[in-house]
Every structure is written in structure tokens, then in C-alpha cells.
Amino acid sequence: MPSLLILGYGDTHYTDRNPRRLFNYAKESGFEAERRDYSEIRGAPDFEGETIKVMLFFPYTFWNENCEVPEDTKLYGTSKRSYELLREFFLEVKGALQQRYASQQLQYVIPPESAALDRDKIAAIQRLKKGGVPTSELVSYQKLDDILHQISSERGVFVKCRYGAEGKGIMLLQESGWVTNYKVEGATLTNYGIYEQWVFTDITGRRDLLEQLLEQEVIVEKEIVVPEFFEGKKFDARAYVINGQVPHFFIRVNERHKVVTNYSQGAQVVHHPQTSLPPELIVRIREEAVKSAWAFSSNFLGVDIMVDSCPDGIKVVEVQTFTDFPDIKCFDLAKYLVSNQSGLFL
Ligand SMILES: Nc1ncnc2c1ncn2[C@@H]1O[C@H](COP(=O)(O)OP(=O)(O)O)[C@@H](O)[C@H]1O
Ligand SMILES: [Mg+2]
């Protein structure tokens, strides 16, 4: 049986449930498995096997202490420094593991060199494009009006913090109005709490607030206009790519006026095979998800895909290196990972 080292603790019992389940299933299945937090690598136990499979989970401890609310910008998701800290952190993790297990072979399910990459939305889109994956369309601009000129009656523009997640730190500019889910305090954009709902505020015409965000690190994209599969609603698909296969996907459906389809912001989740999406669309979703994981050289990736009303319009919006696992009643991803079927830890 292979040896498996699972790294990273959640910051609550709930956020810890995925690595915990994976560890328990691995032990039950007879793996030589250990789990530790990242700070414990130096004192991590010996393994008998020659090859050690390493499974990285989100480094909550490090992230909460160093990156969540940045000192430099104060505005959620806009700190390049936070991103660089995370990237450097994973390089250090790799170095520490190499040192600790110098005589053994380490095989990473998620490559540490690119474990932070999905957090930089611009770099991630560029990496996907290079891999031939259709992505959302970036808007290039020098000044605010260049962005406003891109807005048409059919399509608005998204301005998103470049290093954000969970649907936080977003502006949508449409002909009918502008909204943001940063907190608006008088003339200033600020943050809601980490686990709060980031609700949208109407800021139509507030160029001052838009200017404030544009001074920070952002990504500006054309709006993807989702066809009316579900009346009055928009949706995206989350496909799980494990070892080059898509064993499961679900869709997240939210009211159009709620702008984002993140589960953390209240979207309804519908699992395969109940999505009622046309079979040919499901095939496309699977194909682009697999290509995305290939582009990221990863054996484990969550891929978020939207459908656009333009012909053949399917677009990867972002990928998730440290994706949450689906509800185990619908698909037990941790169990799948240790199974022969996934082939991940053989
Ligand atoms: N270009 C876009 N067009 C339409 N909807 C978008 C676009 N970009 C983002 N969204 C919506 O906003 C959500 C959050 O954006 P995303 O880029 O995934 O950032 P996050 O990392 O915060 O999840 C997406 O799940 C999607 O519902
Ligand atoms: Mg997202």
C-alpha cells in the first residue's frame, strides 16, 4: 500500500472535515497514512514506503494569520503581497518536505509550485488560455471610461478583486445599474466579515467608488450572460477533476440579481445527474474541466464553468486548487480519492 501524507488543518471542525475524512478512509483502506499541519513538517513521522503521496489542503492557519485581511490594501482580495506570501509559503513547504524525506520520493497530487496560482485570477486565466481552454474575456483599459464603454445593453462588465474567493469583492456594471458587494461606508469601500454574506449595494453612477477599486489589483471581465435554463436565475457548474477524470459535478443556481453563484453567497446546489442540463452540454463541461486540470498540471482540481448565450459559449471562470468537497450524501469525494477507481494513490 502507498504512503500518504495529508497536510493542512481546517480552522474549525467543519472546515477540517475533508482532510479528516480522507485520513480516516485512507487508514480504513490500509494506507500508511499520516496527517499534520504545515507547521509540523519538520517533526512529521517516518514512512516505510519508498514513495510518499502528498495531499495538500488549504493552509488555514497560515492564511488566517497572514493573508486574509491584508495590511497593505485593507481591501479584501486586492493584496498582491498576500498572494505572494501564499506562493512563497508553498515553495517553503516543498523545500521542508524534501529535507524531511530526503531519501524518499515525494509525489504531489497538487503541485506546490502552482498551489497558489488559482488565487491570482489574471494568472489563472492566462494559464488556462495557454492550455486552449475557453475563458471569460478580459477587458483591457487605461481609465475608468474605457471600462464603461464596454458596457452594452446585452452585456455588462465585472470588476473583481484579483486575489479574492468565495464571491467576495465584486462589482457588476450594467446599463441598468451598478452594484458591489464590498461594504460601502459613506465614501469608502470596506469589507464584510470573513464568514458573513457579502450582500450587494446599488452604487449606480458612483464613479468615486469604482475609482477606488480600480486603484487596487483587480480583474475586469465582460459579463457572461447565462441563458435562461432556469427562469430568472443564473448558474455555473463545478466539475471535480481527479486524475484526468470527472467523477462528479454539480451546478449552483442563484437569482440573477444576486450576481454571484457561490454557495457561500447563498446559491442552491443541484448535483449530477439531477441538473437537467442537456447531455451535449455536460460533455462540453467535462471536456473543458479535464483540459483545465491539464493546463494546471494538477491531479485534483475544481473547475468552475459558465454557459454564455453566444454560440458554443462555454467558459471556465476560475479553478479551485483547494476546492470544497461535495455533500457526501451526493458524492463522497474523500472515499472516491482513496478508491481504486480514482487511481490517485495507487
Ligand atoms: N464574467 C462574469 N460573468 C458573469 N458572472 C460572473 C463573471 N465572473 C464572475 N461571475 C459570477 O461571480 C461569481 C464569483 O466570481 P469568481 O471569479 O468565481 O470569483 P470567486 O473566487 O470570488 O468565486 C462566479 O461564480 C459567477 O457566478
Ligand atoms: Mg468562484
Q: For residue 226, give the ligand 1 atom closest to its CA.
A: 4
C-alpha cell at 315: 467558459
pLDDT of residue 312: 73
CB of 315 closer than 6 angstroms to any ligand 1 atom: no
* Beta strand ranges found along 243-297 (DSSP E): 245-255, 268-271
CB of 165 closer than 6 angstroms to any ligand 1 atom: yes
Cα(271) to ligand 2 centroid in Å equals 17
Least confident of 68-72, 77-81, 89-93: 68-72
CB of 317 closer than 6 angstroms to any ligand 1 atom: yes
Cα(262) to ligand 2 centroid in Å equals 6
Q: Is it the case that residue 71 has pLDDT exceeding 90?
A: no
CB of 120 closer than 6 angstroms to any ligand 1 atom: no
CATH of 225-320, one of 1.20.120.430, 3.40.50.620, 3.60.15.10, 3.30.470.20: 3.30.470.20
Q: Is it the case that residue 1 has pLDDT exceeding 80?
A: no
CB of 221 closer than 6 angstroms to any ligand 1 atom: yes
Q: Is it the case that residue 311 has pLDDT exceeding 90?
A: no
pLDDT of residue 267: 95
> Which residue's CA is the closest to the ligand 1 atom numbered 26?
260
Q: Is it the case that residue 313 has pLDDT exceeding 80?
A: yes
> Which residue's CA is the closest to the ligand 1 atom numbered 10?
260
CB of 308 closer than 6 angstroms to any ligand 1 atom: no
Strands 268-271 and 245-255: antiparallel
- CA geometry: angle at 325 spanning 322 and 329, to 5°? 180
CB of 158 closer than 6 angstroms to any ligand 1 atom: yes
Is the Cβ–Cβ distance between 25 and 338 less than 8 Å? yes
pLDDT of residue 253: 98
Cα(181) to ligand 1 centroid in Å equals 12
Q: Is it the case that residue 304 has pLDDT exceeding 90?
A: yes
What is the second-level CATH architecture of the domain 3-116? 3-Layer(aba) Sandwich (3.40)
3 state SS of 161: strand
pTM metric for this prediction = 0.96
Q: Is it the case that residue 266 has pLDDT exceeding 90?
A: no
CB of 261 closer than 6 angstroms to any ligand 1 atom: yes
pLDDT of residue 213: 98
**What b/e sequence results for 156-191 when a residue is b if at least 16 CB atoms lie within 10 Å of its CB, and e otherwise?**
bbbbbbbbbbbbbbbbbbbeeebbbbbbeeeeebeb
pLDDT of residue 37: 98
Where in the chain are the domains?
Answer: 3-116, 144-222, 225-320
Q: Is it the case that residue 86 has pLDDT exceeding 90?
A: yes
Pocket test for ligand 1, best of 136, 150, 152, 160 (most atoms within 8 A of CB): 160
Cα(2) to ligand 2 centroid in Å equals 33
Cα(318) to ligand 1 centroid in Å equals 8
Q: For residue 254, give the ligand 1 atom closest to its CA.
A: 27
Phi, psi of 49 (to 5 degrees): -65, 155
pLDDT of residue 264: 85
